[in-house]
Structure 1
Amino acid sequence: MGRQITQGDMIWGYVAQALNLGGGLLLLPISARYLSPEDLGLWFVFTALAGLAQLLELGFQPTFARNAAYVYSGAQQLAKTGLPARANQESGTNVVLLASLLEAARTVYRAVAGLAGVFMLLLGSLYIKTLLTPNQDAAHSLLAWGMFSLGSIINFYFAYINGFLQGRGDVTQWSKVTVFTRGSLVLFSVSALLMGYGLFGLGIASLLSAAVGRATAHHYFTKDALIERMRNTEITAEGKREILRTLWHNAGRLGVVQIGAFLIQRGNVLIAASFVGLAASGSYGITVTVLMALSGMASVVCQLQLPHLASLQASYNRKAAAEVLGETFLMSWVFFLLGLTFVVVAGDGLLTLIGSRNHLLPWPLCLMLGIVMLLEMNHSIAASYLTTLNKVPFVGAAIFSGIGVTLLTLLLIKPFGIAGIVIAQGAVQLAYNNWKWPLEAVKHLEVSLSNILVLGAKRIVSRYV
């Protein structure tokens, strides 16, 4: 578990993140060309509602991944908060504890999939009917939503596998699952759009890609030598309940954080669709999709480093943690700024070149939103670092910020339109989160930010140059 990520891990990680948003950068140009503005806006509503359903997961996946990292590193028991007791390196992996953790994860995700099914197929369908315009075929749109929902439910049911792959340090396999899932989604979606199946084709593609991804995840998951030992391990009901009680302490808090994050980043798509219409919200949705994909790709080094950081925390090695965090900040900043420059300068021109009927926001708004998301990415990296301490100190800030963004958006969207959404998001985040969590990460490491960045630069030079 203490192994450092390799260049191979990084390559697979970046390929995975490039494909991570199925309706993102690779799918966006062709969907913008072959879907009407109303159908494209409805597609962004689909993805926003799936993000809302994701909140039912309540932050268990990163919690399972982090605690799996502790167990694979030799932890003999798990703690509700803080790091587990320092493990004896010769004690090895506690198979009973790991098996109990796995069974608890399966129980949680069976419940999540069931609740997501009710939310998406019942409540989601009712909401979508209120958005449809006379130009759209209601039966066609709702059938597309049904196929999309089934694919999401399958992903929810087997999501625990991703957490365990990440937690045990199989970051390349974890990335490959994303590559096969999102890659098949792009392939099926492009084929469906070219054949003229429109929004319904995207729904079918979502369902098929979910099946491909879960089969791939199961294949890699069962290659662990401990899986067979876990199958033959007796697990008590009380042991499983104790695991759930322990993990709920932080998972529930991460769930609240996810609600705040949804309100800040994705809830505005639903507000835009309701107040300015599907066509106008489509331009906002395109821009948000591009910038979120860019932020995700810039942050991939953070996601890959989290198991290693958790292992370093378990061994109380702060100097090495500072080096890894400095490397993460520098690589993420450079990647995002280069990408943002390209999007602002050439993004809309490329859409026009391919004959798209949909466009990005005007470049001043696009640049403003990009700066807002850069600052969010920065404090999210710091917040992710703090979770490796098995603490979630930003629960209140996340939910209050999410509510603040929503309320300010509702206040500003009428007089300022889409610009009101961008202003609301940036102003609320700048008031607290943008500076608070980087400061807390620096305080924990007991090293100045400049020294963290110097250590990170030296690590980048030694590893990659």
Structure 2
Amino acid sequence: MIKKYGQLLTGLINQFVNILSPFIITVIGLKTTDAEHGSIWVIFLSMMVLINLFDFGLSPTTIRNVSYVIGGAKTLQKDGIVAISDDAIISFPLLLRLLKDIKHIYSYITVVAFFIITLGGGGYFWLISPEHLATEIIIAWGIFSLGLLLNLYYLYYTPVLCGLGVIQHSYYANIAGKLSWLVLTMFVLLFHSSIIGFSVVFVISIFINRAVSSYFYNRNDNIRKTKNVVMQSESTIPFIAYNTIKLGTVSLGSFMISRATILIAGLYLPLALAGAYTFTLQVYMALLAVGNVFVTIKVPQLSSLVLRGDRTGLQKSIAKTLSLSCSIYILGFLTFYVLANFLTEFLNLKVHFLDSKFLVLLAVVYFLELTHSICATVITTQNKVPFVKPALLSGFFIVLTSYLLLKYTDLGVMGLIIAQGIIQLSYNNWKWPVTVYKEFFSYAK
């Protein structure tokens, strides 16, 4: 029983640390700086999602392909899968080539990200910062963005470990990094509380995460076995890139759906209100992350079940994943809703959460987001990505509608919620659950 649920328990602990550490770090920033610095710091932290954007769908593609090779696949496919037998052995030359290509891709992505995250982000923060704080904020962003780039460069450890079936090892590394970030942030308070100091310790925590990840990666039995084989000559990049580009486009759409509104809020809402909106969304992003723990753990198993054509096993696994994920999300929201006002008053924060009516509306919007994103992940285990155009179009219209509602109406935050809720409900919220039902359940024997 312990072994069976060990990964889930570790995953929940990992997400608990993922939520608690940034939340405490956010609170420290809000309590020890003024409202302007605090609001900027919250927006800094929200930019961590840029890692997922520039990952550009490579992580889930990596997980699936590593899982396929570990499962016995001798070749990779751009679209669909090739069935394998239960006694298939691992092709280590193929695995070695896949690992090398994945590392190279992440290094190229990091170079591109430098120009957009560091330079483009610097321009954004220069634009929204009060004039007397601009220089300090740009220096802090330069340091913080270095941490983001390092995080992106070393990100390949996480999906590879997951594909190898030892996702708990990536959790250990993340826990070590997040806890060290928290401890070092508290250490900064002994000297001088500033967003520059907070940014420096963020960079240090990335190196700690990398050291732990590297340790587990290099001691993995399958990784060790690749060191004694001749690498396959044929590049795997064409097979990786095919669906990575699709998922990357989806990631761009997801960014516009859930995060671009933060940038718009920073431009059109008072800085304090933009900070409150961003602070609140961080909680919902955390709830989504917790809700997605189980499906992340299940991806290798689901991919294996798809390879073997085990329809009954797939149905049970999908149903269990959806029910458990949704239950975790609902419990998390109820806890947050009850404690939200108490936390801001007890901690005497200069930036608060949004009003309760907004919290309920956002809870519904992100619950629907959770269910359809889980279904979309299930669909990708078939090595197919049918939701590229819908994600991109939804993101575009959410950004456009949010902009128009903020610029030409007095709806404020309500306009941002309406834009996301209505557009997602018009297609994505129902389309992908229905697709999963049709493909995995409706013709069950």
2:77–2:239 contact (8 Å) kept in structure 1: yes
Contact 2:157 2:170 in 1 (8 A): no
Residue from 314, 330, 333 that aligns with 1:337? 330
Q: Aligned match of 1:112 in 94, 109, 112?
A: 109
Give the whole-Å Cα distance in 1 for the aligned partners of 2:267 and 2:139. 21
For 2:350, give the aligned amino acid: R
Change (3 A) 1:123 1:53: farther
What residue number does 2:88 align with? 91
2:160 and 2:2 map into 1 onto residues whose CA distance is 17
Aligned to 1:239: 234
Contact 1:295 1:377 in 2 (8 A): yes
The residue type paired with residue 185 of structure 1 is W
CA distance in 1, matches of 2:370, 2:217: 30
Q: How does 1:194-273 map onto structure 2 within 5 Å?
A: 195-235=191-231, 239-240=234-235, 243-273=236-266
Contact 1:21 1:182 in 2 (8 A): no
3-state DSSP of counterpart to 1:12: helix
Which residue of structure 1 aligns with residue 39 of structure 2?
A: 41
Please tell me whether the aligned partners of residues 48 and 267 of structure 1 are also in contact (alpha carbons under 8 angstroms). Answer: no
State TM-score, norm by structure 1: 0.90
Are the counterparts in 1 of residues 39 and 275 from structure 2 also a CA contact under 8 Å?
yes
Q: Distance in 1 between matches of 2:52 and 2:385?
A: 19
Cα distance change, pair 387–150 in 1 and its aligned pair in 2 (3 A): same
Q: Contact conserved, 1:4 with 1:308, CA < 8 A, in 2? A: no
The aligned amino acid for 2:228 is N
Q: Distance in 2 between matches of 1:108 and 1:208?
A: 24
Give the Cα separation in 1 of the matches to 2:287 and 2:278.
14
> 2:405, 2:412 within 8 Å by CA — same for their partners in 1?
yes
Q: Provide the residue aligned with 2:419 in structure 1.
A: 424
- 1:71 alignment partner, one of 69, 72, 95: 69
**Corresponding letter in the other structure for 2:130:** T
Q: TM (normalized to structure 2)?
A: 0.94
How far did 1:443 drift? 0.9
Q: Which amino acid aligns with 2:279?
A: I
Q: Which residue of 2 aligns with 1:125?
A: 122
The percent identity for this pair of structures is 29
Question: How much does 1:216 deviate?
Answer: 0.6
Aligned with residue 393 of structure 1, among 377, 386, 389:
386
Q: Is the 8 A contact 1:68 1:168 kept in 2?
A: yes
**Counterpart AA for 1:382:** C
Per-residue deviation at 1:21? Answer: 5.1
Q: Unpaired runs of 5+ in structure 1?
A: 452-465
Give me the whole-angstrom Cα distance separating, in 1, the residues matched to 2:32 and 2:402.
31
Check if 1:354 corresponds to 2:347.
Answer: yes
1:409 maps to 402
Please, which moves more after superposition, 31-40 or 7-16? 31-40
Counterpart Cα distance in 1 of 2:346 and 2:335:
15
User: What's the C-alpha RMSD, in Å, of the aligned pairs?
Assistant: 2.1
Quote how far apart the aligned CAs of 1:54 are: 4.2
Instruction: Select which of 424, 435, 443 maps to 1:440.
Output: 435
| Of 150, 171, 178, the match for 1:175 | 171
Match of 2:305 in 1: 312
Alignment equivalent of 1:82, drawn from 65, 74, 80 = 80
Q: 1:145 aligns with which of 141, 145, 154?
A: 141
Q: CA deviation at 1:194?
A: 5.7
Q: How far is 1:5 from its partner? A: 7.2
Structure 1 residues 115 and 47: CA distance shift in structure 2, 3 A: farther
Using the TM superposition, name which of 399-408 and 300-309 deviates more. Answer: 300-309
* Cα deviation digits, residues 371-424 of structure 1 (max 9, x gap): 101110010111111111111111011000000110110111232111110110
Instruction: Report what 2:155 is aligned to.
Output: 159
Residue by residue, what CA displacement relative to the aligned partner does 1:303-361 show, whole Å, maximum 9, x if unpaired? 11111111111111111111111111111222211221222232122111111111000
d(CA) in 1 for partners of 2:287, 2:189:
24
Matched-pair contact (CA < 8 Å) for 2:46–2:282? no
Amino acid at match of 2:440: L
Shift of 1:86: 2.0
Counterparts of 1:118 and 1:38, CA distance in 2: 26
Q: Are the structure 2 counterparts of residues 317 and 373 from structure 1 closer, same or farther at C-alpha, using a change threshold of 3 Å? A: same
Judge conservation of contact 2:21–2:178 (CA < 8 Å) in 1: no
Residues 1:270 and 1:396: Cα distance change in structure 2 (over 3 Å): same
Give the total of aligned pairs: 442
Deviation at 1:48, TM superposition (A): 4.2
How far apart are 1:247 and its partner, in Å?
Answer: 1.4
Q: Give the secondary structure class of the aligned counterpart of 1:25.
A: helix
In structure 2, C-alpha distance between the alignment counterparts of 1:335 and 1:106, rounded to whole Å: 34
